[in-house]
Amino acid sequence: MELKAQTFARSRQSGWTDELLADAFAGEAACDAAEDALTHSGAYPLEQMQQALGAYDRAALAVLRRHRELRVEPLPVVGPRATAADTLLSLYINANGRLHIRPASQPKIDCEGGAWIDLGQVVASAPVMAEIDGVHAAWRRSEAEYFAQVRAAMDRLRREGGLPRAVEQVIGQLDYVESLSFYVGDRHVTLVDDAGRPTLLYALREKPYERWSDDDVLIVAALHVLMRSGRAACFDEFNGALLTARDLISRIDHCSHSDAAHASGVHYAFESLDLFERVAKLRELKRL
């Protein structure tokens, strides 16, 4: 991802948030308000900025685009504008500059110290909420299937004794990276601290693999893929984005479907290879 996610501080410095008065988006189609917030009123490309959205927020935005009749309501939403059967969706920008579209009943994410910007609320009926839940559930099922491939490759790497070396290689490469942060689910992950140290990887180096979380496995796998592909200098592809197993594998699959791979007949052998083996084969073919 070439464009880094904007932090809350940078948003304020840009002057964009200074123009947000109370109920600035009131009456707008909810999807338009969300996209306006994502792009800072068109200052940044929508396609890139929405890569930072969480899975639920992506599902909510997709459904809001289907229902342009849903509008941002002035705060607070009371009286006849919402019934007991409705759910209020809050649109807000958290302290990291990330847009969320979540049920108002849920705690705000990464908003310690009151550092967030309320964009308004949307009255969502039960059928609309069911649509959002359905899209989100489908995304989670798909992500679980892709993650199984990531886990299988990491398990093989560990069985063959290559995991410690892989972690050390990534740590060594991060010595040349000034900053690197991204999202895994709702978690904001900073790999390089203010002192320039990859503290998360230092901790994983000392932690038994059996105790690694799924997030840990995905993070190391993604960084290892960049190392194996010869693109370690492009760590910022993930900067500011939501890191997912689906996106990671899709990048590799896209290369394996190239004309050159088809012409060489290699594409048909890829199904028998795990993630890291595919990367090695593509590197051999110079498709990465």
Q: For 269-280, write each residue's pLDDT tens digit.
A: 666 788 988 888
What's residue 3's pLDDT? 33
Amino acid identity at 50: Q
Mean pLDDT of 10-37: 71
What's residue 259's pLDDT? 44
User: Residue 2 — pLDDT band, cuts 50, 70, 90?
Assistant: very low
Backbone angles phi, psi at 214, to 5 degrees: -60, -35
**CB proximity list for 122: less than 8 A, separation 6 or greater:** 30, 64, 70, 71, 72, 73, 88, 89, 91, 101
What's residue 129's pLDDT? 97
Longest dimension (CA), the chain: 66
Residue with the two structure tokens 């180096």: 205
Task: Examine the pLDDT at 11 and tell me if it is beyond 60.
Answer: no
Q: Which residue has the higher pLDDT, 176 or 161?
A: 161
- pLDDT, tens digit (0-9, with 9 covering 90-100), for 225-249: 988 776 544 566 778 899 999 999 9
What's residue 144's pLDDT? 98
Whole-angstrom Cα Rg for the chain: 21
Domain spans of the chain? 8-124, 143-284
What's residue 5's pLDDT? 38
Q: What does the buried/exposed string (b/e) look like for 224-256 if buried means 16 or more CB atoms within 10 Å of the residue's CB?
A: bbbbbbeebeebbebbbbbbbbbbbbebbeebb
Closest to 110 measured CA to CA, from 183, 200, 3:
183
- pLDDT, tens digit (0-9, with 9 covering 90-100), for 71-88: 999 877 755 566 767 899
Q: Which helix (H) or strand (E) holds 246?
A: helix 245-256
User: Residue 208 — pLDDT band, cuts 50, 70, 90?
Assistant: very high
pTM: 0.85
Q: Which residue has the higher pLDDT, 280 or 38?
A: 38
Task: Examine the pLDDT at 262 and tell me if it is beyond 70.
Answer: no
The two tokens of residue 81 are 């504008």
The two tokens of residue 103 are 């049920």
Task: Examine the pLDDT at 267 and tell me if it is beyond 60.
Answer: no
State how far the Cα of 70 lies from the Cα of 195, in Å rounded to an integer.
Answer: 46
User: Residue 263 — pLDDT band, cuts 50, 70, 90?
Assistant: low
What's residue 9's pLDDT? 37
Task: Examine the pLDDT at 6 and tell me if it is beyond 50.
Answer: no
